[in-house]
Amino acid sequence: MKSGRDHARVLIYSHDSFGLGHLRRCRAIAHALVGSSGGLSVLILSGSPIIGSFDFRARVDFVRVPGVIKLRNGEYTPLNLHLDIEQTMDLRGSIIRHTAEAFDPDLFIVDKEPLGLRGEVSETLHVLKGRGTALALGLRDVMDEPALLGPEWERKNVMPALTDLYDQIWVYGLPQIYDPLSGLDIPDQVRRKTVFTGYLRYGVPNAASVSQTLDIQEPYILVTAGGGGDGDALVDWVIRAYEADPGIPHPSLIVFGPFMQPEIQEAFLDRIARLDTVEAITFDARLEHFVKAAVGVVGMGGYNTFCEILSFDKPALIVPRTRPRMEQYIRAARAQETGLLSMLEDDGIRDAKSMATALRQLTQQKRPSEVIVPGLLDGLENICRLTDAWLDEDRRPDIKVVEERA
């Protein structure tokens, strides 16, 4: 990658405090960017409490802001600090703004939330716009159903930022799978800024960095609950399938996820101990090794799981959640229609025989590579190309923004 400035800098914001999706996506992008340029540095702003569990390439670093978690009623609360939420958000916003001012990036990539969590990135966007920093909003392929996403964006008043602040909107997917802006009242000006990159191709970390050895025999089915905070229904369903049908041809390795409650994990482990063909681990930051070794994947269908299924060309069974968002269901339904995977809907009953049948049929499915979708996994390559184009541009401070802030 060529750069219009020596030692170019990219700042990436990921609001996530609970879950793995945003963090892993941002990390993959950061690694791709530094891998394509010997003079580029990337700094990630994140609220994830487990960001330190991951390895980062040279010239990639992170700043962790105080974590918050979202309660079932939709409200946020501090994760660890004895502060109220307003104080915590003020602290987060201050760290974000001062980090951006000191790092002085050539490109600022904001993941998913146009204004950040509760608007915490708004001031930083204006500061960087005034300095001539290129601003890109990165959206996953599916956000939510339009009937919910539209009112949410209206309530958060994000449209002025999409229209006046952001230079481009990058969708990490393809329109033939899904357009996250479909059904929304989006100005043409915003539509013209939107670029579909394709999905992100994940690779396998250095084998020397694998931190766990397993007793399970390959080939196995990998069952992943993502972050695990809401994955207990999927894990229970799979365990009950093996309890009801010990003859399922392949064993399963279940990854609970780092955010599954310990007491729920303990209950699952007690049941798994009585099964000869099921093993479980809590979490591994190098999950790609286990995906590669698996004969098939069962998951909830989050963005990163979907990218891993495509990247490692694995037959997959997706059991999507439908609350609080329809994101996973929409992605799984569209992927099933395209022929990339199969979906099993959670009807609330979760019949063990239905899951057992689906597990038996999993390895008979087509691999994703047998379905021709041009540009399917070109996401990281295109993100590097788009970044290259912005870094080749001279930075032009936005005089209007500077005057408004003066």
- The predicted pLDDT at position 387 comes to 97
- The predicted pLDDT at position 73 comes to 63
For the whole model, what pTM was predicted? Answer: 0.93
- The predicted pLDDT at position 163 comes to 97
List the domains of the chain with CATH numbers. 9-201+377-405 (3.40.50.2000), 207-370 (3.40.50.2000)
- Which residues in the chain come in under a pLDDT of 50? 1-4
Contacts of 57 (CB under 8 A, 6+ apart): 30, 31, 34, 35
What are the pLDDT digits (tens) for 359-394? 999 999 999 999 999 999 999 999 999 999 999 988
Residue 304: closest CA among 197, 199, 194: 199
Query: Are 8 and 40 a contacting pair, CB within 8 Å?
Result: yes
Q: What is the DSSP string of 163-188?
A: III-SEEEEES-TTT--TTTTS---H
In order of 268, 294, 296, the CA distances from 244 in angstroms are 15, 22, 20
- The predicted pLDDT at position 285 comes to 84
Q: Give the span between the Cα atoms of 114 and 403, in whole angstroms.
A: 23
What does the DSSP 8-state code read for residue 94? H
- The predicted pLDDT at position 17 comes to 64
Q: Give the span between the Cα atoms of 337 and 313, in whole angstroms.
A: 17
- The predicted pLDDT at position 2 comes to 43
- The predicted pLDDT at position 148 comes to 92
- The predicted pLDDT at position 160 comes to 97
- The predicted pLDDT at position 72 comes to 62
- The predicted pLDDT at position 402 comes to 57
